[in-house]
Chain A
Amino acid sequence: MVKKLTSAPALFAAAGAFLVTGLLLAFLYAPIDVSSMGFSQKIFYYHAPIAETALVAFGIAFVAAILYLRDPDPKWDRLGYVSVRLGLLFSLLVMATGMIWGKAAWDAWWAWEPRLTTFLIVCFLYAAYFVLRQVVEEESRRATFAAVFAIVAFIDVPITFFATRYMPEGLHPVVITAGDTGMEGSMFLSFMISMAGMTLLLAALVRSEVAAERLKDEIDDLKIRIGG
């Protein structure tokens, strides 16, 4: 029963439900933010959840990396690889939505503020992960090196965020501060539902992509056995 619930199609369905609901709530239920940006503020309902989901993806890769180093099972490497790929994809989306928001809010496509800068660096960081994988031919070594890098990279993400935020000044509106969410009830609900939906989407994607990768690996194994 649990397997059915967490299978890819089920997760996609759940994700879809949450995301659509979140979308509807964002546009119809949550009020227009009178404080600053008006209608365009609503992109926040996607921008922040996508950001959070990207970080969750990298967190999964971090854990998968540690697990791989303790027990070199290719399944951990697959999980790490897929998670980083998805994390990178989501990070690019964060940049895109962030830039759209920036244009709408401050009439500038780019600003050197903490979150955008951090995600920019994060994109380069995890792109490097793929370059690293590319240049190691032997599979178990590739997985080992990738794992070491995934661990080091993930540790660096909060450090980078901290550095970009506290050393120079920033313009990014601080949304979730301790205690006060900075949003009133209806906004908060829409936000949380979008957040849940995005995370479910990540789970669904991870599941289906890990399965696809495993299939690819099995095909490669068969090819070698037949050919060799």
Chain B
Amino acid sequence: MAGRQFMAILRKDLIRELRTREMLVSMFLFVMLALVIFHYAFGVDTDADLTYFTGGMLWVTFIFSALLGLNRSFAQEKDEQCLDGLLLCPVDRVTIFFAKTSGNLVFLLIIQAVSVPVFTLFFIERSYLADLGLFVLVLLLADLGICTLGTLLATISMSTRARDLLLPIVFLPLIVPVLIAATSATTAIFADGADLGGLAARLGFLAAFDAVFMIAAYGTYDFAIGE
């Protein structure tokens, strides 16, 4: 039953987004704009070696793009009172959480799938194809942390007066560890090639982060949603 409900919510969010493309388009445009701005921000001097900045650039962009998406994911439920409709259903609140988190994850991955090649084209000299698998792993684990924590906090912030404005304020300080780990792992992959020892540590850290906050969200989601 929970599986069917999970799929129903996920399917609903996917259909809605693919049909309107509101979220995807704004997230994508944001990322593209950010890349262009980065080019100009770091000096138009074509000799400038941005290699060691690439991880940071990429993840800052993804974080802010994710914020856009997270805000939207609940905005519609609130505006059309659909959240009430959802809460009326005999569904575990945690199922809603997992479905929403998964939806956000899918959207973030779609955006990343499109923007990483563009980013590579603009800023990366060295081919990192050999480490592609590891890079994708970094993406997945970091995204999971972002979406888990982000969905929990978006649920709360959507119910406040400040709505979208609150989310960055509460979310950004919490996500710093993920940023640190993802950035250093990504820069390592782009710049020098994966150093398996260091990378393993960072991947492990990200996985631990995800697990910890998944549990925290599981325990507190009933309180974050509803009423």
Contact = CB atoms under 8 A, between A and B. Distances in A.
Interface of A: 69, 121-122, 124-125, 128, 131-132, 135-137, 141, 144-145, 147-149, 151-153, 155-156, 159-160, 162-164, 166-168
Given A128-B170, A168-B184, A163 B177 contact: yes
B223 A144 contact: yes
B174 A156 contact: yes
A145 B174 contact: no
Given A128-B170, A128-B173, A148 B213 contact: no
Nearest to A130: B169
B223 A69 contact: yes
SS class, residues of chain B in contact with chain A: helix
A137 B172 CA distance: 23
Contacts of A151: 216, 220
Chain B interface size band reads 20 to 34
Given A160-B176, A163-B180, A135 B152 contact: no
Given A148-B224, A155-B216, 5 more contacts: A128-B173, A135-B161, A136-B161, A141-B227, A156-B173
A124 B161 CA distance: 20
Contact of A159 (B162, B209, B223): B209
A124 B173 contact: yes
Given A69-B220, A132-B156, A163 B166 contact: no
Contacts of B20: none
Contacts of A162: 177, 205
B115 interface: no
B152 A152 contact: yes
A145 B156 CA distance: 7
B32 interface: no
